Chains A and B, each alone.
Chain A
């Protein structure tokens, strides 16, 4: 079975500061990993995905994530937070049985 753990249900940063959202996964096979963002009253928007082509993955809106097999991690980062980044972020792992397994989510607050 596959699972995702997101450390920290709530992360608060100042505008312009580094954003680091943590994700650890468990998978019995090489994983496909995704980060999604959800703004209030909206669906999920894909930020980036890892499919084994490169360990450092760049996504939209200046976000990137690094796949570290030895640490079973796929942390999401952004060098400089913007007020518009305030949202909930979900890490997910894809399985061979046609479903995404999500973490519990991390709510990002950006303070002016």
Chain B
């Protein structure tokens, strides 16, 4: 199993450009998440999905959109990139268990907006 994979690994954008980050998981997980991590800080939840065709806002959703057309994929879009969106983006997936949910994280995408 590949687990959680993210594409691309690195990207540099100019202010105002758009891009889509792709997250894929092969564990048949219902739940998927997008986080951002700024230098020296913890992870903050951007958007999440509890199943195919569903999405919901997390802690810091402004400036981002997401889609979950297939169960195994979760896309994060930036319509008009801003320097404040320079960060490392992590995708995660999980089952929902009675004891909470063990999240599996991807390796991250390092995005720089100039």
Genuine A/B complex = no
Query: Chain B: residues with CB nearer than 8 A to chain A?
Result: none
